[in-house]
Structure 1
Amino acid sequence: MHVRRTLMATAIISTFTYSSAAYAQDAAQSLPEIVVTATPFGANENAQILTPAKVLAGEELRNKLGSSLGDTLSNELGVSTSSFGAGASRPIIRGLGGPRIRVMQNGLGAADVSTISEDHAVSIAPSTSRQIEILRGPAALLYGSGAIGGLINVVNERIPTRLEPRPTGEVELRYGTADKSKSASVSADASISKIGLHLDSEISHASDYEIPGSAVKGDPQSASGRLPNSFTRQHGAGFGLSYIEDWGHFGASVASFDHNYGVPSDEGARIDLDQNRYDTDLLVKRPFEGFESVRIKFGYTDYHHTEYDLEDVPEVNFSNRSLETRWELTHQELNGWRGMFGIQTEHGRLAAKAADPSEPTTVPETQSQSQALFAVEEKAFGPLTLNAGLRFESAKREPVARRERSFDLSSYSIGSMWDFLPGYGFGSTISFAQRAPSIEELYSSGAHHATETFDVGNPDLEKETSRNLELSLQKTTGLVRWKANVFHNRVKDFIFGRLSGNTFDEEGNPGGELNERLFEQADAVIRGAEAEISYQPRSDGMSARAFADTSRGKLSGQESLPLQPATRFGIDLDYKHGQWRAGTSVVHAKRQDRLALFETATPAYTRVDAKLAYTQRYANQRITWFASIRNLLDEDIRISTSLLKDQAPLAGRSLVLGVRTAF
């Protein structure tokens, strides 16, 4: 423990030493800006009013890549992960997850079933992404009620929007010792005349991963050495092309994704997932007088997965077919106002049926549809920028042989950003957002073996209503940059799954091994704060980042919301000299003992990672050799936001070796 405290203290002191020195240098130097595509005006990440944003791209994204989307983003400000084994790990933003966090690919929904349960994987491979955008807070105005807690947009540029003068791309190979993982990914772009072409592919295989102690903390009789059933194997491929002219572009893409992974629960399970996806994208610049562009997107997905028991007998079959469209019209500046309005539609058919016809259906076949109108406007009044948006949406759930439900939803947001000094800004946002109950929350009625629950939906659930106030203060230029956010989110009729204490078997008879989980509603409050400071030199030398985040979610009656993230403190130190890069990061999470019913406390932990990379030039290629050590202290790490925290710790110490080349 003394060693860990010393590491933390050294890292913190180093950070503030470098930050103080930076103030004495030229703070007017600005770093390159990254455009956030999932915003109405394509602004940079420091200019967001509607929601604070973070973008991972380039070298930073490659260094943080994990086996899943949740693992990749787990150390970002305000973001944690559900951590349901290595195969399924979905992002949680400010204590909200599942159907309240919308995961998108190139601006359209992922259309998998990861919102239904923590054991379901997101059907997007981060290894072929060019950029991952995180929008924290209620982004419902643009992307629907599924984004009431925030959204993640994975950008892989599968449909090209520009013509490359020569073929470009990237290839990467990795090997990890803790899980004997082997992975490869490739992404390439080219053009023929006016046709842009894109190809990407990835494959990864990992065995059960090593753990530092026993699977069940304090139980030497439980599994040790390696965590049983924690393997994961996935492969995917995508191809896209588009016709590109000065007036805009029109393109299409097709992709497939297959994922086979274990669920390391007491019950044990294996999930075999496959999805086919088809997208089109049309952009017309200056379509008619007074308008900058019109954009139309279509996305169709066909998703299936089967859950198997330890004897490889199928238990539940999930399917989801979805068609989503977006129509966006951006107008030219009018009396200082610029803005966008549009239409979004979704049509889907979801079902989760027991493989044994004699057992109850987990989720009945249900058709869902929604239509929405949205508009966002923005205007600058000198140093003050105002933003306002409005969204109206109707949603319908139509199950087979069950009562259908319809919901009328409305949302609005009013925000401002005051640049009171050059490079300094104060922002405030007031928002109101509504979410319709999901299909599983309304109609679940059967066993879900992977989570060891017998889920019981409530067809009488009402829509959720969120009222959110957020304040932010930031410095966005110079060698030292920082930001701080505080938020208070009051949710009426918050929907959650409560463990009743009763147990059932697969047929629904009392006294089995499955815990009854009832979907209920109560008012809730989620509040918290986040802060981050970074120092980035103009050339070689030391860079540093320190961050802290905390949130607290409570139901009426002072009971905590289930699976809430622990308060965290983190530090990153990086050093660059010529072709060499090195770095270390330390994240400390406090003990989480603010619990919902039937939850257990999660012990504190400190995770230390280190990395080293060397980049060389060979002909026209840039080759980077890299190595990293994850969980350097071989800590027994259990995540408070995981349903499996008491029986499935994270991997122990692991050495990752790899090579990456860009051409």
Structure 2
Amino acid sequence: MKIQHTLLASAVLSALSTLAHAETAETPKVIVTATPFHTAENDQILTPAKVLAGDELRDKTGTSLGETLSQELGVSASAFGAGASRPIIRGLEGSRVKMLENGMAVSDVSGLSNDHAVSSEGASARQIEILRGPAALLYGSGAIGGLVNVVNERIPTELEAKPTGQLEARYSTADKGRALSGGVDGSAGKVAWHADGSWRNTDDYKIPAPRKAGDPDSESGRLPHSATRERSGGLGASYIESWGFVGASVSRLSNLYGIPSDEGSKIDQKQTRYDIDSLVRAPFSGFESFKFKAGYTDYKHAELNDENQPEVVFKNRSLETRAELAHKPLAGWNGTFGVQTENQHFSALSAEGGPDTVPVTHSTSRAAFLVEEVDAGPVHMNAGARIENVKRKPVTGLNRSFDLRSASVGGMWPFVPGYGLGATLSYAQRAPAIEELYSGGPHDATATFDIGNPDFKKETSRNIELTLQKTSGQVRWKVNVFRNKIKDFIYGHITGNMLDEDGHAGEELRERVFEQANATVRGAEAEMTYNERGPGWSGRVFADTSRGKLDVGGNLPLQPANRIGASVGYREGGWRGGLSLVHAQGQDRLASFETTNTPGYNQLNANLAYTQKLGSQDVTWFLIARNLLNEEIRVSTSVLKDIAPLPGRSLVFGVRTRF
């Protein structure tokens, strides 16, 4: 952990040296929608938050959600090809990181395996939020590691005086990518409406080195089976009055992408989603608002072989409801309490008559939650609690029921105006996911034969986090250190045995057995920004590190590398440009069954944009350069790190218009 102390010491000393010179100018506020208090990003002192919006979001948008968020503080990506890359927060992945769309679960199967894409499209997002801490308790036990909320506002909450929207087209050189996305909002009387859509085609992307690490004779040029094809669209409308609103939306996603494994699989993903959202202001005495949401998702994806024939078909039908009641200040406390339900039918069945990967399983969840905040003298406090019952009922196998308890409390002491010292303690429990309990068949896209355990216990996480930060002026910084003790941590163990499609000794599939053991994840983060969103010069430096270990000895699999990065930008008039460099150290902290270290790398990106007025419209011409050094980048959090490097140098040309 030498790097941890070095990076943090440098960041803290640099930050403290600016105290006497910091300006008092304030940057624009971005509102975080996934918290019960809807406060600004920089006010989330007990719920560490990052919000990507506006130009920053457009500059970072990639072909997957993981790629889009991969350079945020404490966030890495699973990098399972261009089509499937899920965010990993502080070394925790899969079902421990909750994926939301407009505050509701995306209800896909991306948490099951790294080859499954998140069924929420970043190209049509208005903003993307990353949250941890007490507010995450509103959204379930799957938020032990944190949550990511994609906000596309398909159900509008305001009446527009005239139609507004944006349209964007872009082309990328490394993958010959063509993309078009846009959205429009309008109103008719007291009815507001919204429409959005996106279209993207990419070819196999260029790689800067031979495909297989250490094998100069392996394929080069382009990475086989890394092409993608995505289509999505959504419609929504709301009736808006002074008392609040009620609205509904429908959306459709179709996604076909390659898996750059030796088998050369493809995944054909489809999802239809229906949502209802409503808000009543001052519903009765003593309460500020009542919210009710409901969402129904019909999800399906087929894993196709190299002849485009389905081998395994994953299905998930889910109905989720949420009701939240926010009360007026009571003895100084502000807060929200509510209930949440979910009914889910999931399966991963063989299309070839062999063993099913996961049997048909019906799951239900019933939960109640409470999140509160109060000023206790100079200390601002935030606390939350959640109780939940989760039932798993497979058509064959053992029924399970889990009673879950979660709680979190924290405080921030502004020892000097504009500076804060804080601590957060949390206790969270997670029910084993369906695949962790009942897997018993081949998963061809990952070349594994998965074996679950229906006797697993619930996971229990105890986390402590300490924060020192400066939250005002043009120069702002924060330092976080954390330690997470997880009892009965569930992970997939590659045993070394080789099996066939029927689970007998063979040469096709690696045996992956889900196991439980106590684990500890600890780490630190530091970030300093200057003039983050204002005109003129801006800058950012950051460093993050985390390490996950089994208490009995050995590392957790797929742990992120230590990173340090810096960026500089300039904005004046219609011009905007920036340059960023991220250095990742080599990663040799491997699990017992992992065999390949990942070397360090430097990732240099740049962007340049010019906005002009054409009639009543703002038109922005932009150029984004990624991996300018054309480095061979293999990330330690990728299952395919041995055979699938990230893309080489790529230029993205585009135009965007707002009206």
How big is each residue's C-alpha offset from its partner over 1:306-333, in whole Å with a ceiling of 9 and x where there is no partner?
A: 0111121211001000000000000001
What displacement does 1:434 show?
Answer: 0.1
- Out of 355, 366, 375, which is 2:370 matched to? 375
What displacement does 1:137 show?
Answer: 4.8
**What corresponds to 1:221 in structure 2?**
217
What displacement does 1:654 show?
Answer: 0.6
Judge conservation of contact 1:418–1:427 (CA < 8 Å) in 2.
Answer: yes
Aligned partner letter, 2:109: V
**What corresponds to 1:524 in structure 2?**
519
State the distance in 2 between where 1:587 and 1:505 align.
Answer: 42
- Say yes or no: does 1:393 pair with 2:410: no
What displacement does 1:21 show?
Answer: 7.8
**What corresponds to 1:548 in structure 2?**
543
What displacement does 1:50 show?
Answer: 4.3
**What corresponds to 1:321 in structure 2?**
317
State the distance in 2 between where 1:578 and 1:16 align.
Answer: 34
Q: For residues 119 and 139 of structure 1, do their structure 2 counterparts lie closer, same or farther at Cα, with a shift above 3 Å needed?
A: farther
What displacement does 1:390 show?
Answer: 1.2
State the distance in 1 between where 2:535 and 2:290 align.
Answer: 43
What displacement does 1:386 show?
Answer: 1.4
- Out of 607, 612, 618, which is 1:616 matched to? 612
Q: For residues 464 and 502 of structure 1, do their structure 2 counterparts lie closer, same or farther at Cα, with a shift above 3 Å needed?
A: same
What displacement does 1:233 show?
Answer: 0.5
Q: For residues 398 and 565 of structure 1, do their structure 2 counterparts lie closer, same or farther at Cα, with a shift above 3 Å needed?
A: same
**What corresponds to 1:121 in structure 2?**
117
- Say yes or no: does 1:461 pair with 2:453: no
What displacement does 1:382 show?
Answer: 3.3
**What corresponds to 1:9 in structure 2?**
none
State the distance in 2 between where 1:538 and 1:147 align.
Answer: 29
Gaps of 5+ in 1: 1-12
Judge conservation of contact 1:18–1:535 (CA < 8 Å) in 2.
Answer: no
Q: Secondary structure at the match of 1:213?
A: coil
Q: Which moved more, 1:530-539 or 1:520-529?
A: 530-539
- Out of 15, 18, 28, which is 2:24 matched to? 28
Judge conservation of contact 1:19–1:534 (CA < 8 Å) in 2.
Answer: no
State the distance in 2 between where 1:159 and 1:73 align.
Answer: 24
How big is each residue's C-alpha offset from its partner over 1:112-131, in whole Å with a ceiling of 9 and x where there is no partner?
A: 00011000000011000001
- Out of 650, 656, 659, which is 1:654 matched to? 650
**What corresponds to 1:177 in structure 2?**
173
Q: What is the aligned residue count?
A: 650
- Say yes or no: does 1:278 pair with 2:274: yes
**What corresponds to 1:148 in structure 2?**
144
- Out of 577, 596, 599, which is 2:591 matched to? 596
Q: Secondary structure at the match of 1:85?
A: coil
Q: For residues 127 and 220 of structure 1, do their structure 2 counterparts lie closer, same or farther at Cα, with a shift above 3 Å needed?
A: same
**What corresponds to 2:555 in structure 1?**
560
Q: Secondary structure at the match of 1:415?
A: strand
Q: Secondary structure at the match of 2:42?
A: coil
How big is each residue's C-alpha offset from its partner over 1:203-230, in whole Å with a ceiling of 9 and x where there is no partner?
A: 0000000001110022122111000000
How big is each residue's C-alpha offset from its partner over 1:35-80, in whole Å with a ceiling of 9 and x where there is no partner?
A: 1111121122222254211111111111111111100000000000
State the distance in 2 between where 1:230 and 1:258 align.
Answer: 17
- Out of 220, 235, 241, which is 2:237 matched to? 241
What displacement does 1:298 show?
Answer: 0.1
How big is each residue's C-alpha offset from its partner over 1:575-600, in whole Å with a ceiling of 9 and x where there is no partner?
A: 22322112111000000000002212
- Say yes or no: does 1:497 pair with 2:481: no
**What corresponds to 1:3 in structure 2?**
none
Q: Secondary structure at the match of 1:71?
A: helix
Q: CA RMSD in A?
A: 1.8
State the distance in 2 between where 1:540 and 1:32 align.
Answer: 11
State the distance in 1 between where 2:590 and 2:308 align.
Answer: 35
- Say yes or no: does 1:44 pair with 2:40: yes
Q: Which moved more, 1:341-350 or 1:133-142?
A: 133-142
Matching of residues 46-445 of structure 1 within 5 Å:
46-137=42-133, 140-357=136-353, 359-445=354-440
What displacement does 1:628 show?
Answer: 1.4
What displacement does 1:418 show?
Answer: 1.1
Q: Secondary structure at the match of 1:310?
A: coil
Judge conservation of contact 1:611–1:629 (CA < 8 Å) in 2.
Answer: yes
Aligned partner letter, 2:391: K
Judge conservation of contact 2:28–2:533 (CA < 8 Å) in 1.
Answer: no
Aligned partner letter, 2:52: L
Judge conservation of contact 2:134–2:371 (CA < 8 Å) in 1.
Answer: no
**What corresponds to 2:6 in structure 1?**
none
Judge conservation of contact 2:584–2:602 (CA < 8 Å) in 1.
Answer: yes
Q: Secondary structure at the match of 1:396?
A: strand
Q: Secondary structure at the match of 1:552?
A: strand
What displacement does 1:512 show?
Answer: 2.2
How big is each residue's C-alpha offset from its partner over 1:516-535, in whole Å with a ceiling of 9 and x where there is no partner?
A: 00011000000000000011
Q: For residues 527 and 538 of structure 1, do their structure 2 counterparts lie closer, same or farther at Cα, with a shift above 3 Å needed?
A: closer
State the distance in 1 between where 2:132 and 2:335 align.
Answer: 21
Q: Secondary structure at the match of 1:611?
A: strand
State the distance in 2 between where 1:368 and 1:538 align.
Answer: 44
State the distance in 2 between where 1:513 and 1:537 align.
Answer: 51
Aligned partner letter, 2:432: P
Judge conservation of contact 1:139–1:149 (CA < 8 Å) in 2.
Answer: no
Judge conservation of contact 1:139–1:148 (CA < 8 Å) in 2.
Answer: no
State the distance in 2 between where 1:225 and 1:471 align.
Answer: 46
Judge conservation of contact 2:133–2:424 (CA < 8 Å) in 1.
Answer: no
Question: 4+ runs of 1 displaced by more than 6 Å?
Answer: 15-22
State the distance in 1 between where 2:179 and 2:34 align.
Answer: 29
**What corresponds to 1:607 in structure 2?**
603
Length-normalised TM-score, structure 1: 0.96
State the distance in 2 between where 1:383 and 1:375 align.
Answer: 23
Q: Secondary structure at the match of 2:24?
A: coil
State the distance in 2 between where 1:654 and 1:497 align.
Answer: 34
- Out of 426, 443, 446, which is 2:441 matched to? 446
State the distance in 1 between where 2:118 and 2:252 align.
Answer: 13
State the distance in 2 between where 1:155 and 1:559 align.
Answer: 39
State the distance in 1 between where 2:176 and 2:374 align.
Answer: 54
Gaps of 5+ in 2: 1-9
Aligned partner letter, 2:470: K
**Percent of aligned positions that are identical:** 59
Length-normalised TM-score, structure 2: 0.96
Q: For residues 100 and 90 of structure 1, do their structure 2 counterparts lie closer, same or farther at Cα, with a shift above 3 Å needed?
A: same
**What corresponds to 2:4 in structure 1?**
none
